[in-house]
Structure 1
Amino acid sequence: MHNAKIGVINVSDRAAAGIYEDLPGQAAVAVLREFLRTPFVPVYRVIADEQTEIEAAMVEMVDEEGCCLIVTTGGTGPAPRDVTPEATAAVCEKMLPGFGELMRATSLRYVPTAILSRQTAGIRGKCLIVNLPGRPKSIRECLEAVFPAIPYCIDLVGGPRLEADEETIRAFRPPGA
């Protein structure tokens, strides 16, 4: 069996310019390695806050690399350069707003500014794209909240079967799925 491919896109002008170390993207990979029993190969990019570049990376990861999941970090706030949700919506056939709703609700338990987040998720082909926040602590909190739905979502769109590490986190699948 081939390893699944999971795209990770850290959207950050400063990380792309080498001013900041790419901690958010690394944090996302670490949490996914902890949560997934299924081996996977990360397809990794650090991209400036440019909608066309973010879209191009997502399209390449799905259409050429065959990723079944892409997580983005950063670019989801209200600042003029924050365009990750727009890029996600532009490349997806279906949007899944429940992911953003749950992540905001989760983050609101920690910071009142979570209402400023515009995180979303959507489907392109056989791939789920999920926008995560840009801070490593928030990435873990949000992935813990939405991860239980991710493997079954990927099943439903025809992607590979991803198995959770049940010692760490439980994924939900209906009986018989």
Structure 2
Amino acid sequence: MSGSAAPRRRALVVTASNRAAAGVYADTGGPLIAEGLAGLGFAVDGPRVVPDGDPVEAALRDAVAASYDVVVTTGGTGLTPTDRTPEATRRVLDREIPGIAEAIRAEGLAKVPTAALSRGLAGVAGTTLVVNLPGSTGGVRDGLKVLGRLLEHAVDQIHGGDHRRPAESTQPADPADPADPADPAGSAGSPR
């Protein structure tokens, strides 16, 4: 072992907004995401501000080709005619991870009912995790809260890491819990 630290994971932030790309107003969500990802230990590029639609797909494809570990987008997930980030993302993804997007919406629903209107996706393209967050700063904060609990493990898995095993617990195993590691018969209910 050389004693050198593992290379930092790389992340890119992409802001999808016609108005921010045109300079009508400043991007506020992208910098929040960049700060949040940096706080999680990522080397962050961006935010890269692009218009809605096809430019989002191009930015995602460029990021996958550049081997970013994570790409987080903000904006374009709502219901207006120009909100096309999920469609652009879907064209790039190899596999969707619906649970991440569902968790982000659930986090927002605890605060505002309109969080249910976000159509954001999450998934894997090559070895890159792609996550769509809403354009609102509240939606970005909710998304970062969820991602803070998931990103390290998700990126490890995408890069071929083994599933982590829970540390030995002082609590007795629950034989009725299908995800309980002490219950081998319940392993069929585990997402492994």
The TM tier, using the shorter chain, reads 0.7 to 0.9
Aligned residues of 2:74 and 2:133 also touching (Cα < 8 A) = yes
Alignment of structure 1 residues 17-36 onto 2, 5 Å? 17-34=22-39, 36=40
Contact 2:52–2:85 (CA<8 Å) still a contact in 1? yes
CA RMSD of aligned residues (A): 2.0
In 2: Cα distance, 1:44 partner to 1:129 partner: 14
TM-score if structure 1 supplies the norm length?
0.83
For 2:142 and 2:42, the matched residues in 1 are separated by 22
Q: Deviations over 1:8-66 (max 9, x none)?
A: 000001100001101110011111222x1x3513243101112x211111011111x22
| Residue of 4, 11, 19 corresponding to 1:6 | 11
> 1:134-169: CA deviations, max 9, x gaps?
122321122102331211111111189xxxxxxxxx
**Percent of aligned pairs with the same residue?**
39
Superposed counterparts of 1:79-98, under 5 Å? 79-98=80-99
1:95 positional shift: 0.3
Gapped regions of structure 2 (runs ≥ 5): 1-5, 168-192
1:58 partner amino acid? L
Q: Is the 8 A contact 1:127 1:159 kept in 2?
A: no
Task: Please list the CA deviations of residues 108-144 of structure 1 after superposition, one character each: whole Å capped at 9, or x if unmatched.
Answer: 1111111111111010111100001112232112210
Q: In 2 relative to 1, CA 84–173 (structure 1 residues): closer, same or farther, beyond 3 Å?
A: farther
Q: 1:25 to 1:143 in 2, by over 3 A?
A: same
Q: How does 1:15-164 map to 2 (within 5 A)?
A: 15-34=20-39, 36=40, 38-50=41-53, 52-63=54-65, 65-158=66-159
**Contact 1:94 / 1:122 at 8 angstroms: preserved in 2?**
yes
Structure 1: segments with no counterpart, 5+ residues = 161-171
Letter in 1 for 2:58: A
* Helix, strand or coil at the partner of 1:77: coil
> Compared with structure 1, are the counterparts of its residues 58 and 114 closer, same or farther at alpha carbon in structure 2 (3 Å cutoff)?
same
- SS of residue in 2 equivalent to 1:82: coil
Q: Is the 8 A contact 1:10 1:73 kept in 2?
A: yes
The structure having more radius of gyration, on CA atoms, is: 2
Give distance in 2, aligned partners of 1:135 and 1:152: 26
Is the 2:122–2:131 contact (alpha carbons within 8 Å) kept by the matching residues of 1?
Answer: yes
After TM superposition, give the deviation of residue 68 of structure 1 in Å.
0.3
Secondary structure, counterpart of 2:156 in structure 1: helix
